[in-house]
Structure 1
Amino acid sequence: MKLLFIASEVDGLVKTGGLADVAYALPKALQEMGHDVRIVMPAYRQIQDLWQEWPAQSLDCKLSFFNTVTVHCRRGSHESLPVIAVEHPASFDRPGIYDDGNFAYPDNALRFGILSKAALDWCQQEGWVPDIVHGNDWQSALTGFYLAEHFGQDPFFEKTRSVLSIHNGAYQMHCDAGWLAQLGIDQRFYRPADFEDSGHLNLLKGSLGFADGVTTVSPGYASELITPMGGHGLDHKYRALPEPLVGILNGCDYDQWNPETDPWIAAKYATIEEDGKAKCKQSLQKELNLEPNPDTPLLGSICRLVDQKGIHLMIPVILKLMQSHDCQFVMLGSGDENLANQLTYIQRQYPHRFHFFNGYDIGLSHRIEAGLDAFLMPSVFEPCGLNQIYSLRYGTLPLVREVGGLQDTVVRLSQSQRNLKTATGFMFQELTEEALLAETERLLDVYKNKPSQWRSMQHNAMQQRFSWKKSATAYERFYRRLLKSAPNQHPLLTRMATEAEATG
């Protein structure tokens, strides 16, 4: 198949979150299966040294009858993956990706509308007919709309089907309705059934109705999105999709996250019986100026400092752990300044038991995964999650909340502990400080008082594999099913076509 993958970020080039991991690893896995894959992304200032060396071709991107922008499509590659970088300085020659460090860019809707439309225009100019056009999150969600509305009668795309993947349904791009005309969204689609949302334009909401197929990044998150509690206000849209929402679990790039080959860690290890993990813990304690006691349980977390990650639960629990338990804690992340200040305060209070690194360091993230005894992810919601998967591979037992992809990847230790042959971590359900603290204390009890059980769980954890090949195979089946079906006929477009035919 010819697969066009459109994303706002790609790991190894530009990354702010999990979308970038998927935008690299999934096309890579599909290419290895023999498919002809192209990735379209913005030509950001941050990677200018790379794309400015790529050959460019001019392209007139027509968003509407009165809004045509000229872009340059730069053709290159990223680790053997063909990449088309859309160069439009007014949109992408900026210091940030989505914001200036404080506030989102006010024209984000237009910036990424240009990306989505230019991807399809490039296909036409090249004469390269994609079987599947795969958009990701709100940034490229309009691709399916443009395919259906702008190119609906174009024989070039007659057999092309569109897919929209939801990596985080909370981010939808609400903006002023004044952008409708510039984006080429006709006023007739500005209604509650499509793009209108409480007096604003909602790009994700409207785009859902035009995609031929919609996926998300885990079965657990798919089941949550169709509920009022988990749908981020769009549960009715997910339930009304012509084709049911499909959850396909993200994979893990074990070329990067593997304790047997990891160049970032103090000692490599293949099993928990080796002394490599103990050396990694000792080295991490020394690096972060923690008390060098191998028997002290070392807990930690790596995440963005936002409410979604449950930091508001974790901070008071960390304080209670420091006050009442013999343990250490490591936190790596950045984001909300108020949360960062609270974590900095804890570090000042307990400098040899708690360490907070405000920012992101890829080498340190690997050393944390290898050196920790347990990894905490008390997320409010978690579409898939990757750190719990990394933790499993390194024999670091995850403690997670029973949501989204976390419940799809971690096997909780039962209260009876009769599932020791399969358990890989700890899990709690209620979104409360008390529930998180209780499960953390349970974890500490197993670590300190039941070492054989802890070792058994570590062994189970390290045997888990969530390969991208498995995920890519599931996407391949999904694509082929869509190609056998008729394109999604949006009700309003169908009615308009019928009326036009009737009036001659």
Structure 2
Amino acid sequence: MVSSEAAPFAKTGGLADVVGALPSALSAHGDEVAAVIPRYESIDLKGMRRVWDPLTVSLGPARFDTTIYLAPEAYPLYLVDCPPLYQRKGFYGEAGVDYPDNHIRFAVFVRAALGVARFLFRTEVFHCHDWQAGLLPVYLRTTFAGDPTYMGVKTLFTIHNLGYQGLFPRTALAEAAVDPAVYRPDGIEFFGRVSYIKGGISYADALNTVSPTYAREIQTPEYGFGLDGALRSRANALSGILNGVDYREWNPETDPHLPARYSADDLSGKRICKEQLLAEFDLPPGAVDAPLIGIVSRFTRQKGMDLIAEIVGEIVAEGFCMVALGTGEPEYEEFFRRMAAEYPDKIGVRIGFDNGLAHRIEGGADLFLMPSRYEPAGLNQMYSLRYGTVPVVRATGGLDDTIDEGTGFKFVDYSGRALAAAIREARSVYTDRASWTAMMLRGMSKDFSWTRSAAAYSALYRDLLGRT
């Protein structure tokens, strides 16, 4: 697997969770899996073993000496160390601005990953994730097309979020040593620019996304970000495999972050979690009987923050309380701060990342809100089900695939009115404790573990290799 992130070493979102969990799940199917990620400044090399030094990458006249480290994981996880490229405060940029040399940083990364496959871990399938690995299939089809090391090797390109495309000026072709012949509409050209994600789409042997519904959505103009035509042209090679959940980490029966454990057989601990969560956000103890909405999200328009801003006042006026954790666009961070100041007895907010608090929100909230404009897979709605925290979601992508009328509430129209109607519907069920508890228990019984998803990926690898 070739990825810019893998939990627990480097994480900004769901991509890291997938690459961190899927290799171990695949081992149950007899697959030998290794992963390659960059060694960012935040990754401590303590306990890691240097296994190749130097691994030199040449991009035209430019030369980059990389060092390959092996992490002490259950599966081989290699890190590409190149301080001039990766020893920076951010993974992709700082203060909301991308690094101007990202086209070189991730060209070097995938060329180093090819080197890992040449010298350290001979592979049959390169599983490439998102735009940061999009050049690997391009290089295999061009620069390394006649290299016997990669003869018969197949590529799978997974799209975790089509909204992030790796777009660069045409000059990136020469600087990344990419064959200029691929700069065409059915290659990596995208409205006069170079698109790394389009490289993966155009040249990988197979494509997939992280939910069946998202695989269909991205072939439409509404969700295709200008690439719907390219994706429709490869529809026969495109599938959707739902992300899984690591229940070793997300399980209210064993979660060390919760003040009290609970299960489907004994829900009493959930009320304790709610009481403690209210206290953690300085909300009054009397709010324990009001329906509590939880949010753990990036504060962006993609995540539906504009809809929440539209209706939060009326929802609070109807008796709901809300706790929110996240970071994102400055206007929405400021919005949540303002709401917390305006409704100090109803709304609690933390701006930042706090894994423990994310667990406690899942454990203590009654409802979990995900009104996304689009959502390739989503994980929090699946966490919420296991924690008996009923999801209220927009019917898009993985949210639509995982939530049904028996386990949560969905709305279709992207509007504040539709979101408010879904929340009010949830309130009507919440007041009937027997019906609410039944809905909680149905959600807690759902199984979205990696077992099923890993089986689908394993079958896809075998299909690529002509095996059954």
TM-score (norm 2): 0.97
**In structure 2, distance between residues paired with 1:197 and 1:286:** 51
Partner of 2:428: 445
How far off is 1:219 after superposition?
Answer: 0.2
Structure 1 gap ranges (5+): 413-422, 486-504
* Residue type of the alignment partner of 2:46: L
How far off is 1:484 after superposition?
Answer: 1.1
**In structure 2, distance between residues paired with 1:135 and 1:51:** 26
Q: Which of 94, 100, 107 is 2:101 aligned to?
A: 107
**In structure 2, distance between residues paired with 1:71 and 1:6:** 16
How far off is 1:242 after superposition?
Answer: 7.0
Q: Answer yes or no: is 1:196 the counterpart of 2:192.
A: no
Partner of 1:380: 373
How far off is 1:272 after superposition?
Answer: 6.1
Q: Answer yes or no: is 1:95 the counterpart of 2:76.
A: no
| Larger CA deviation: 99-108 vs 133-142 | 99-108
**In structure 2, distance between residues paired with 1:272 and 1:314:** 34
Partner of 1:359: 352
For 1:287-436, list aligned pairs within 5 A.
287-293=280-286, 294-322=288-316, 324-412=317-405, 423-436=406-419
Q: Which structure: larger Rg?
A: 1
* Residue type of the alignment partner of 2:69: R
**In structure 2, distance between residues paired with 1:63 and 1:211:** 21
**In structure 2, distance between residues paired with 1:169 and 1:242:** 15
Partner of 2:277: 284
Q: Answer yes or no: is 1:67 the counterpart of 2:27.
A: no
Q: Answer yes or no: is 1:8 the counterpart of 2:24.
A: no
- TM-superposition CA deviations, 1:255-314 (whole Å, max 9, x none): 000000000001111116430111111111112111213311111210001110000101
* Residue type of the alignment partner of 2:54: S
* Residue type of the alignment partner of 1:434: R
Instruction: Name segments (4+ residues, structure 1) moved above 3 Å.
Output: 48-56
Contact map agreement 1:51 1:74 (CA 8 A) in 2? no
Structure 2 gap ranges (5+): none
| Larger CA deviation: 249-258 vs 84-93 | 84-93
How far off is 1:95 after superposition?
Answer: 0.9
**In structure 2, distance between residues paired with 1:174 and 1:195:** 10
Partner of 1:501: none
Partner of 1:489: none
Partner of 1:464: 446
**In structure 2, distance between residues paired with 1:355 and 1:191:** 51
- TM-superposition CA deviations, 1:33-69 (whole Å, max 9, x none): 33221111101110134376644421122334x3332
For 1:487-502, list aligned pairs within 5 A.
none
Partner of 2:76: 82
Partner of 1:222: 215
Query: What is the CA RMSD across the aligned residues, in angstroms?
Result: 1.5
Percent identity of equivalent pairs: 38
TM-score (norm 1): 0.90
Q: Secondary structure at the match of 1:356?
A: strand
For 1:206-217, list aligned pairs within 5 A.
206-217=199-210
How far off is 1:146 after superposition?
Answer: 1.3
Partner of 1:174: 167
Q: Which of 435, 447, 456 is 1:474 aligned to?
A: 456
* Residue type of the alignment partner of 2:80: V
Q: Secondary structure at the match of 2:258?
A: coil
For 1:229-240, list aligned pairs within 5 A.
229-240=222-233
Contact map agreement 1:141 1:203 (CA 8 A) in 2? yes
Q: How many residues align?
A: 466
**In structure 2, distance between residues paired with 1:119 and 1:130:** 11
